[in-house]
Amino acid sequence: MMDRWMDGWMVGWMDGWIVGWMDGWMDGWMDGWMDGWIVAWMDGSMDGWMDGWMDGWMDGWMDGWMDGWMDGWIDRWMDG
């Protein structure tokens, strides 16, 4: 039971981290960039662009990382 938990945790964590990071980064970067760019363009301010980009990137990264981590961990643990 402990081995299965450790295997699932480690493999799931690695898979989830990589998949989540990539998905979250891409989604967050694109969403944040687009939202920030549009807001900044409308406002005529670079601050809006940077804020939108950072917020989108962080949100997407965190969401993707957590989702991927949980999915990978659960899959490996159950399969093991």
0.85 exceeded by the pTM?
A: no
Note down pLDDT in tens along the chain; length 80 residues: 566 666 666 666 676 667 666 666 666 666 766 676 666 666 666 666 667 777 776 777 677 667 777 776 777 777 75
Sign of the alpha-carbon dihedral angle for 16, 21, 22, 24: positive
The SS3 call for residue 31 is helix
